[in-house]
Chain A
Amino acid sequence: MRPLRIALTKGRLEKDTVTLLEQIGCDCSAVRDKGRRLILPVDGGKYEVVLAKAADVITYVEHGVCDLGVVGKDTIMEYGGSFYEVLDLGFGKCRFALAGPKNSSFFEGYSSRTVASKYPNVAANYFGGKAMDVRIIKIEGSVELAPLLGLADAIVDIVETGSTLRENGLEVIDTVCEISARLIVNAASMKLRRGEIEELVGRMEKAVRQSD
């Protein structure tokens, strides 16, 4: 049987996950010194780490070609999918927020609103939950531009420190939800390789609790 395969979101989540894996005693030297390789052995080949873009982590895990994955809650909320979301890893913390020009009255009155976002599904679910009909425009790059240029009344975006918002004269109107990195597991893998997966998840959970 092939080693358990873990898909990691490239970038910061990857670094945090490698640190966590090292905390539980896995040798990650191959990942630290990866060159251009995308599939890397961990702990002497006991596990394999696959590096992918956030949304692809979900795709690989959903199809079962990777057994586990580390991905932000933001990506899970935007792309959905069916898998087990077994552990809040506690790192990669930030939040989804609704933000607009300072002192704007977004929720007042009855004129219809336009919102720009890189996360149209998250925005649609948020306003759906408030029973508000809002026009949503998908923006790929710096979403803060949309209200500045007059395209949108507000934005739904990831906020960490809020300094980008402040520098552009915007402020948080409402927090949509908190975000952090999650460990996800393919449903069939969970059934077929329960022992190995529970053991690994258990060790990671313990390490996460300790660092809290």
Chain B
Amino acid sequence: MRKNSRITPEGTKDYLFEECMLRRQIERKLSGVFEEHCFREVMTPGFEFYDVYDPDFSGIPQEIMYKTTDRLGRLLVMRPDNTLSIARLTATRLQNLPKPVRLYYTQPVYRNNPGLSGRNNENLQMGIELLGAGGLRPDVEAVAMAVEALSRCVPGFRLELGHAGFFRSLSASLPVSEETREDIRCAIESKNYAALGALLDPLGDGEEVQALRALPRLFGGEEVFEKASRFCSGERKETLSYLHGIYRSLAEYGLGDRLIVDLGLVQRNDYYTGIVFSAYVEEYGDAVLLGGRYDNLLEHFGQPMPAVGFGVNVDAIAHALSQRNREVLLPHAEVLIHGEPGYEMKAIRYAAGLLEQGKRCESSVFQTEEEAKAYALESGIARVDVVGETVRTVISDGRKL
């Protein structure tokens, strides 16, 4: 026996019974929401060319991509992100469709996370992309769908809103190198006030610097808009009131205090250009949903167009739900059907008849009636019917008759 023939690679696992059921239930609920809103399902290859996920515009670090080569030596990557694959698909095969294009997907992403961190390296994601439409309406539609989708699976989540435009416009005017800009972004992202201060101190005290300094603290409820307004003139003022508008319409939706604003939400996925949003639940230490507007991404595939979308981490939601309700167990078969020698086919037809009455039946594979009865008692099947010339019930309510 080979050393690794009996284990699965780090970051992967087998999903069993109740876990599968839970995942399928979540998938059905989410695809239900997506289809009700006229999104159509697509599937993209499990591995694609490295160029599709080029770190220069994807923001995905190359060391977390699983790579291999094709027979011409070209670099291939196991899908690390769904949005990029769908952007490629939309810019190519779907380029002639009337816009907007509404797509949804259910497929895993693969990421080679740092070792022994306990993270999954294979994660099932479901999400939507609304492509070829910019502005308020598609933004509201995407965020409202995110709320509806999560409400059906994990009530009690919190939704967080931000806008990539703040950081972009603030940092664009700074006379600093790309590396320093990235350092500033990291400091804001990790709310590292000390490092941010050290980076900004040499840059004077203009409106932009003051605003960048305040950005990680511009986080909370509706009062954030008031606090932020003194740093926002011109273009940023419009961005702020735009975001406030979306906030208000969501507050009307009944989210109330479960809605958070974080203007310091500057994600590493730097393909986002407009609103960004994410959702959190108590049972999981990271976001369970991530989304936003990415108006410049399709350009990299030769078909510039605005787009917005979000992805849900199905595994994270399944984990949260299993924490909430640990007792969910798959039901056993209600009846075990045992065919006597020569009556095997009759037994199968009999089972089909019971199934029509709504009874979950399992067929006996055993040679003798005694073995079938022992199996039923051991595995919690409450009734055993033996099919021969006639049909006899030999176990009922878990007791031998």
Q: Do A and B bind each other?
A: yes
The 6 A-B pairs of least Cβ separation, nearest first, read: A64-B285, A84-B191, A88-B194, A85-B192, A188-B280, A191-B280
Within 8 A of A (CB), among B273-311: 280-282, 284-287
Q: Mark B243-265, 1 if CB is under 8 A from A, else 0.
A: 00000000000000000101000
Interface assignment of A19: CB less than 8 Å from any CB of chain B: no
Q: Is the CB of A188 within 8 A of B194?
A: no
| Closest CB in chain B relative to A142 CB, distance in Å | 26
Identify the A interface with B (CB < 8 A).
1, 59, 62-65, 80, 82-88, 182, 185-192, 194
- B160 and A191 contacting across the interface, CB-CB below 8 Å: yes
Residues in B with CB closer than 8 Å to A194 are 219-220, 260
Interface check B195, CB cutoff 8 A: yes
B325 within 8 A of A: no
Contact between chains at B191 and A185 (CB < 8 Å): yes
Docked CA distance A186–B191 (Å): 11
Q: How large is the interface on B (under 10, 10 to 19, 20 to 34, 35 or more residues)?
A: 20 to 34
Question: How far, in angstroms, from A190 to B118 measured CA to CA in the complex?
Answer: 21
Closest to A191 in B: B280
If over half of A's interface residues share one DSSP class (helix, strand or loop), that class is named, otherwise mixed; here it is: mixed
CB distance from A119 to the nearest CB of B (A): 16
Which residues of chain B are within 8 angstroms of A80 by Cβ–Cβ distance?
A: 114
- Among B114, B118, B193, point to the contact of A86 (Cβ < 8 A): B193
In the complex, the chain A residue whose C-beta lies closest to that of B264 is A84
**B194 cross-chain contacts in A, Cβ below 8 A:** 85, 87-88, 182
B117 within 8 A of A: yes
Q: B147 CB to closest chain A CB, in angstroms? A: 15
Taking the closest CB of chain B, its distance from the CB of A155, in whole angstroms, is: 25
With A85-B195, A188-B280, A194-B260 as contacts: A64 and B190 at CB distance below 8 Å? no
- CA A21 – CA B195 in complex, angstroms? 24
**B260 close to A63 (CB less than 8 A):** no
User: Which residues on A sit within 8 Å (CB–CB) of B193?
Assistant: 86-88
Min CB–CB distance A32 → chain B (angstroms): 29
Taking a contact as CB atoms under 8 Å apart, the answer to whether A59 and B117 are in contact is yes
- Bound Cα distance A59, B285 (Å): 11
Q: How far is the CA of A55 from the CA of B126 in the complex (A)?
A: 33
- Residues of chain B within 8 A (CB-CB) of A59 are 117-118
Asked if A84 and B190 make an inter-chain contact with CB atoms under 8 angstroms apart, the answer reads yes
Q: A63 CA to B117 CA in the complex, in Å?
A: 9
Distance between B303 CB and nearest chain A CB, rounded to angstroms: 33
Contact call B158/A86, Cβ cutoff below 8 A = no
Decide: A64 near B160, CB < 8 A? Known: A84-B191, A88-B194: no
Beyond A59-B117, A191-B158, A191-B280, whether A65 also contacts B285 by CB under 8 A is yes
Which chain A residue shows the least CB distance to B279? A191
Task: For chain B, residues 119 to 168, give those with C-beta under 8 angstroms from any C-beta of chain A.
Answer: 158, 160
A63 x B285 contact (CB < 8 A): yes
Q: Which residues of chain A are near B190, meaning CB under 8 Å?
A: 82-85
In the complex, the answer to whether B286 meets A86 with C-beta atoms within 8 Å is no
Please list 17 pairs of residues, one from A and one from B, whose beta carbons are closer than 8 Å in the complex, sorted by A's number.
A59-B117, A62-B285, A63-B285, A64-B284, A64-B286, A82-B190, A84-B192, A186-B285, A187-B286, A188-B280, A188-B281, A188-B282, A189-B285, A191-B262, A192-B280, A194-B219, A194-B220
CB distance from A38 to the nearest CB of B (A): 19
Q: A186-B285, A187-B285 are in contact. List 17 more A-B contacts (CB 8 A).
A: A59-B118, A62-B117, A64-B284, A64-B285, A83-B190, A84-B191, A84-B192, A85-B190, A86-B192, A187-B287, A188-B281, A188-B282, A188-B285, A189-B285, A191-B158, A192-B282, A194-B219
Q: Across the interface, which residues of A come within 8 angstroms of B280, CB to CB?
A: 188, 191-192
The docked-state distance in angstroms from the alpha carbon of A65 to that of B339 is 53
Within the complex, what minimum Cβ distance (angstroms) separates B229 from chain A? 21
Nearest chain B residue, comparing its CB with the CB of A89: B194
CB distance from A192 to the nearest CB of B (A): 6
Complex alpha-carbon distance, A83 and B192, angstroms? 10
In the complex, chain B residues whose CB is within 8 Å of the CB of A88? 193-194
- Residues of B within 8 Å of A85, CB to CB, are 190-192, 194-195
Write the B83-112 contact mask toward A (1 if CB under 8 angstroms, else 0): 000000000000000000000000000000
Binary interface encoding of chain B residues 214-237 relative to chain A, with 1 for a CB under 8 A from any of its CBs, else 0: 000001100000000000000000
Give, as a whole number of angstroms, the nearest-CB distance from B262 to chain A: 8
Q: How far is the CA of A184 from the CA of B192 in the complex (A)?
A: 9
Chain A residues with CB under 8 A of B191: 84-86, 185, 190
Bound together, the chains give a CA A64 to CA B281 distance in angstroms of 11
List of A residues within 8 angstroms of B260 by Cβ = 191, 194
Q: How far is the CB of B276 from chain A (nearest CB, A)?
A: 14
